[in-house]
Amino acid sequence: MNTRDEQWRVDLRAKIKAKDRTNLTRVQMPELDAEYRSHIRNEEVNLGLTPAQAMAEAQRCLDCVNPTCMEGCPVSIKIPDFIKFIETGEFLEAAKVLKMTSALPAVCGRVCPQERQCEEKCIHVKMKKESVAIGHLERFAADFERESGQISVPATAPANGIKIAVVGSGPAGLAFAGDMAKLGYEVVVFEALHEIGGVLKYGIPEFRLPNKIVDVEIDNLKAMGVTFINNCIIGKTIAIQELEENGYKGIFVASGAGLPRFMNIKGENLVGVMSSNEYLTRVNLMDAANPESDTPVYKGKKVAVIGGGNTAMDSVRTARRLGAEKAIIVYRRSEEEMPARLEEVKHAKEEGIEFLTLHNPIEYIGNETGRVTQMVLQLMELGEPDASGRRSPVEIPGKTRIVDVDEVIVSVGVSPNPLIKQSVPELETTKWGTLVVNQDTMQSVSLPIIFAGGDIVRGGATVILAMGDGRRAAKAMDEWIKNKS
Amino acid sequence: MNKIISKEYFSANVVKFTVDAPLIAKARRAGHFVIVRVGEKGERIPLTIADADISKGTITLVVQRMGVSSTKLCALEAGDYITDLVGPLGKATHIENFGTVVCACGGVGTAPMMPIVAALKKAGNKVITVIAARTKDLVILEEQMRENSDEVIVMTDDGSYGNKGLVTNGVEAVIQREKVDLCVTIGPAIMMKFVSLLTKKYDIPTVASLNTIMVDGTGMCGACRVTIGGKTKFVCVDGPEFDAHQVDFDEMLMRLGGYKDQEKEEMERKILHTK
């Protein structure tokens, strides 16, 4: 029976009229004071809903016959099922529903671009109302479970003794590892860095995703029997071929987006100009802003961040927290085209971040020691839509301006990590360096033992898409291994 | 965690470690480097592998005490553990029979030159090694170099040992004496710059192994970027060795000095102040 038809759900729907549910106003996420938080590096901005707030928000969900919200979710979370458990106060049950399809609900509840996924498809939006706060509710259920001390370790099938290697411990790798462990495989995750968690650790700042939340998920996987090996680079420390020789029957490559992109403009190698990967890795992974840390980081007073994505927002808000008096986003399109989550843009503005949209850097100017002091910006306007469907930025001839800066963080995207391809030249890649896989199974078209997902395939995507890849790859690899034997 | 098997002082400030790292020992080739981190608040620093012993499962690292991180590393003793060690990283040295090769190394750069000299010799090259140091006490690995080279020329700034002069004086003497097919240089950036200028004058192909600032060492951060022939390259994945005549050494020197003030402050606060 469809869970929606269970008597308690029928009764629950009947308790409040749909019209009344629609008229309820959307919950506001409690958050730290903007002035306070713009000087505090390690406190999460969003404080989370209280049980009462969550239950009230859950009432807004109409429990639709055809829940279109689920179509917007890359991992098809059973959204009404978990929300209705929240409405009745059965929060642990809600968390269980989330974990059926999502490996990292506490993470996704924080970092998913819900307004372009589930929440965009919510029935409320079609009625010109604010969508149900699905992301906030997801976070609430996952946090409640974690803090309850009654975290459920998913059941695993009896061990089948088949060894599987995972390259990279970011969201794709963790999602894949969890699913394969559930199926009884012996999963070993190899991580190049000294910390497990990939972009969740080195990339996303503590004020948006606390490390302890990621660590709980990793501990959960360990409890399921997954082994993690840090400081080990597949393709360098151990060759792919050696993994095969050592009895690994399947390899999932989730090595992420290795190379930061630069714009190849004059002055880009000046001191004080760096990639967002470098800046965030120093601050997040290496804890460089802590005086006890041996890793240095610039604490610029006038910081420009180039780009309009989530990583750009993370960088500029970090710079603000490290003491920047002026922290500026420089973006070549308008705010409407910005790929960042709406909430990040909102938070950034509240924290005093300036937005220079329709501006694009064309040169950086330095002083006698090679330190960046100014940037030359080209003014832009919007032209026709480009391949991405967004209106493309066009230069306004002759219109430039010079802005003083002492630090520039370039956040204009990444290219796939080249190490695996260097190690296994016969692996087929696109001209952008992404691995070519079957879109349904995530299996390499050139080397069947290899499956891949996340940014190494997509070239730069989101946590949830990476996780979706991991889950599809796990299902397909399981079938492939079973069909072989 | 990797155990330090032995520690030896080449000089007061230059330490040789052999470290337990069987997988790296097996996978490494001449020219590869590792990233090392000491302590939970430690920095990730690149060090070129000086040697490896596959049967013992060890690699050799030679470290010069300079800043906070190298001082912490040099303070470790045999039996201690290095918190994190990862590699081998970078592209291996391209080895073939070029003919006559001059290997010009300075200071602690002599250590990573060691496996390159050995590999070039094994490939049938006539290898002339020029070791340069400020003074006699800082000349390292001379014996091992002699075992693997056809000739070793030692240069000291103060003339306290070998010939008085800079590495470039030693290299130029060889160039004027015989036909040189390739020059390989490892050492301080300023030294490599002048070796490169010299060999360019004589039109001798030259390879330089660059040691820039790095964070992850796997291509992720771009801290190590250098300009090679007008194009930005990453030392960690595109190098560490490049055609020296294409390297923008002035930019590299500028970028190496980028954290100088912070390094000085850290050194005073964490090392000197606590003594």
**Chain A neighbors of B229, CB-CB under 8 A:** none
Look at the alpha carbons of B95, B96, B97, B102 in this order and tell me if their dihedral is positive or negative.
negative
Contact between A451 and A251 under an 8 Å Cβ cutoff? The reply is yes
Q: Can you tell me the distance from the alpha carbon of A178 to that of A105, in angstroms, rounded to the nearest whole number?
A: 13
**pLDDT at residue A44 is higher than 90:** yes
State the helix-helix crossing angle for A7-15 and A79-87, rounded to 10 degrees.
Answer: 70
Cβ pair B221:A275 closer than 8 A = yes
**Residue of chain B with shortest Cα separation from A199:** B220
- Residue B243 confidence (pLDDT): 97
Q: What is the pLDDT of residues A312-357, one digit of tens each?
A: 999 999 999 999 999 999 999 999 999 999 999 999 999 999 999 9
Nearest to B41 among A202, A292, A370 (CB): A292
Contact between B57 and B98 under an 8 Å Cβ cutoff? The reply is no
Residue B179's pLDDT band (boundaries 50, 70, 90)? very high
Mean pLDDT of chain A: 93
C-beta atoms surrounding A24 within 10 Å: 16
Output the six-digit token pair for B177.
Answer: 């004496």
- Residue A152 confidence (pLDDT): 77
Residue B229, chain A, CB below 8 Å: the answer is no
Query: What share of chain A has pLDDT > 90, as a percent?
Result: 82
Output the six-digit token pair for A26.
Answer: 């959307």
**Chain A neighbors of B216, CB-CB under 8 A:** 192-193, 202, 281
Residue A81's pLDDT band (boundaries 50, 70, 90)? very high
Please give the C-alpha separations between residue A67 and each of A12, A81, A142, A235, B108, in angstroms, as whole numbers: 16, 10, 21, 44, 66
**Chain B neighbors of A283, CB-CB under 8 A:** none
The label of the residue with tokens 């987006």 reads A257
**Residue of chain B with shortest Cα separation from A411:** B221
Q: CA angle at residue B30 from B58 to B154, to 5 degrees?
A: 100
**pLDDT at residue A422 is higher than 90:** no
**pLDDT at residue A34 is higher than 60:** yes
Contact between A354 and A326 under an 8 Å Cβ cutoff? The reply is yes
- Residue A301 confidence (pLDDT): 97
Nearest to A294 among B68, B225, B255 (CB): B68
- Residue A388 confidence (pLDDT): 76
Amino acid in the structure at residue B207: V
Mean pLDDT of chain B: 94
Q: Can you tell me the distance from the alpha carbon of A399 to that of A420, in angstroms, rounded to the nearest whole number?
A: 44
Residue B99, chain A, CB below 8 Å: the answer is no
Residue A4's pLDDT band (boundaries 50, 70, 90)? very high
Output the six-digit token pair for B144.
Answer: 């091992």
Contact between A264 and A177 under an 8 Å Cβ cutoff? The reply is no
Find the mean pLDDT for residues A412-435. Answer: 86
Q: Can you tell me the distance from the alpha carbon of B184 to that of B235, in angstroms, rounded to the nearest whole number?
A: 16
Residue B218, chain A, CB below 8 Å: the answer is yes
Q: Can you tell me the distance from the alpha carbon of A468 to that of A230, in angstroms, rounded to the nearest whole number?
A: 24
C-beta atoms surrounding B104 within 10 Å: 32
**Residue of chain B with shortest Cα separation from A299:** B262
Q: Which residues lie closer than 8 Å to B273 by C-beta, 6 or more apart?
A: none
Cβ pair A281:B220 closer than 8 A = yes
Output the six-digit token pair for B209.
Answer: 């192994």
Q: Can you tell me the distance from the alpha carbon of B66 to that of A198, in angstroms, rounded to the nearest whole number?
A: 31
**pLDDT at residue A78 is higher than 90:** yes
Contact between B58 and B5 under an 8 Å Cβ cutoff? The reply is yes
The ipTM is 0.93
Amino acid in the structure at residue B71: T
Contact between A278 and A260 under an 8 Å Cβ cutoff? The reply is yes
**pLDDT at residue A23 is higher than 70:** yes
- Residue B229 confidence (pLDDT): 96
Q: Can you tell me the distance from the alpha carbon of A379 to that of A359, in angstroms, rounded to the nearest whole number?
A: 5
Q: What is the pLDDT of residues A90-111, one digit of tens each?
A: 999 999 999 888 888 999 999 9
From the CA of A294, how many Å to the nearest CA of chain B? 5
Residue B237, chain A, CB below 8 Å: the answer is yes
Residue B262's pLDDT band (boundaries 50, 70, 90)? confident
Q: Which residues lie closer than 8 Å to B225 by C-beta, 6 or more apart?
A: A262, A269, B212, B232, B233, B234, B235, B255
Find the mean pLDDT for residues A259-283. Answer: 95
Element (H, E) at A334: none
Q: Can you tell me the distance from the alpha carbon of B125 to that of B102, in angstroms, rounded to the nearest whole number?
A: 10
Nearest to B43 among A237, A270, A294 (CB): A294
Find the mean pLDDT for residues A264-275. Answer: 96
Q: B24 exposed, middle or buried (CB, 10 Å; 0-12, 13-18, 19+)?
A: buried
Q: B130 exposed, middle or buried (CB, 10 Å; 0-12, 13-18, 19+)?
A: buried
The label of the residue with tokens 């790798």 reads A173
Look at the alpha carbons of B114, B120, B124, B129 in this order and tell me if their dihedral is positive or negative.
negative
From the CA of B164, how many Å to the nearest CA of chain A? 32
- Residue B269 confidence (pLDDT): 84
Contact between B140 and B118 under an 8 Å Cβ cutoff? The reply is no
Output the six-digit token pair for A412.
Answer: 């204009």
Residues of A with CB under 8 A from a CB of B: 192-194, 202, 230-233, 236-239, 256, 258-260, 262, 264, 268-272, 274-275, 277-278, 281-282, 286-287, 290-296, 369-371, 417-419, 422
Q: Can you tell me the distance from the alpha carbon of B275 to that of B270, in angstroms, rounded to the nearest whole number?
A: 9
Q: What is the pLDDT of residues A212-233, one digit of tens each?
A: 999 998 998 999 999 999 999 9
Cβ pair B23:A277 closer than 8 A = no
**pLDDT at residue B275 is higher than 80:** no
Q: Can you tell me the distance from the alpha carbon of B171 to that of B187, in angstroms, rounded to the nearest whole number?
A: 14
Cβ pair A237:B88 closer than 8 A = yes
pTM to 2 decimal places:
0.93
Q: Which residues lie closer than 8 Å to A377 by C-beta, 6 or more apart?
A: A330, A356, A359, A360, A361, A362, A400, A401, A402, A403
Question: What is the SS3 assignment for B27-70?
Answer: HCCCCCEEEEECCCCCCCEEEEEEEEECCCCEEEEEEECCCHHH
Q: Can you tell me the distance from the alpha carbon of B39 to that of B108, in angstroms, rounded to the nearest whole number?
A: 23
From the CA of B227, how many Å to the nearest CA of chain A? 8
From the CA of B84, how many Å to the nearest CA of chain A? 7
3-state secondary structure of B181: coil
Cα-Cα-Cα-Cα torsion A273, A275, A276, A277, nearest 10 degrees, comes to -140
**pLDDT at residue B209 is higher than 90:** yes
Contact between A83 and A131 under an 8 Å Cβ cutoff? The reply is no
From the CA of B99, how many Å to the nearest CA of chain A? 29
Residue A206's pLDDT band (boundaries 50, 70, 90)? very high
Please give the C-alpha separations between residue A259 and each of A38, A192, B13, B114, B226, in angstroms, as whole numbers: 29, 14, 35, 31, 14
Please give the C-alpha separations between residue A194 and each of A171, A232, A396, B52, B86, in angstroms, as whole numbers: 16, 9, 46, 22, 8
- Residue B274 confidence (pLDDT): 63
Q: What is the pLDDT of residues A142-181, one digit of tens each?
A: 999 999 988 878 889 999 999 999 999 999 999 999 999 9
**pLDDT at residue A432 is higher than 90:** no
Please give the C-alpha separations between residue A254 and each of A176, A251, A352, A472, B58, in angstroms, as whole numbers: 9, 10, 36, 13, 30
Residue B41, chain A, CB below 8 Å: the answer is yes
Query: What share of chain A has pLDDT > 70, as a percent?
Result: 100
Which residue of A190, A211, A237 is the best one to mutate when testing the B interface, meaning the one whose CB has the most B CBs within 10 A?
Answer: A237
Alpha helices in A228-282 (DSSP H): 240-245, 276-280
Residue B43, chain A, CB below 8 Å: the answer is yes
Which residue of B220, B265, B269 is the best one to mutate when testing the A interface, meaning the one whose CB has the most A CBs within 10 A?
Answer: B220
Q: What is the pLDDT of residues B124-159, one digit of tens each?
A: 999 999 999 999 988 999 999 999 999 999 999 999
Beta-strand ranges (E) seen in chain B are 2-11, 14-20, 33-37, 45-53, 58-64, 81-82, 84-89, 100-106, 126-133, 151-156, 163-164, 182-186, 206-209, 225-228, 231-234, 241-243
Cβ pair B69:A294 closer than 8 A = yes
**pLDDT at residue B104 is higher than 70:** yes
Q: Which residues lie closer than 8 Å to A141 by C-beta, 6 or more apart?
A: A54, A82, A85, A86, A91, A94, A95, A98, A105, A109
From the CA of B10, how many Å to the nearest CA of chain A? 26
Q: Can you tell me the distance from the alpha carbon of A21 to that of A272, in angstroms, rounded to the nearest whole number?
A: 53
Q: What is the pLDDT of residues B218-243, one digit of tens each?
A: 999 999 999 999 999 999 999 999 99
Cβ pair B86:A286 closer than 8 A = no
Residue A433's pLDDT band (boundaries 50, 70, 90)? confident
Q: Can you tell me the distance from the alpha carbon of A9 to that of A15, in angstroms, rounded to the nearest whole number?
A: 10
**Chain A neighbors of B89, CB-CB under 8 A:** 233, 236
Cβ pair A232:B86 closer than 8 A = yes
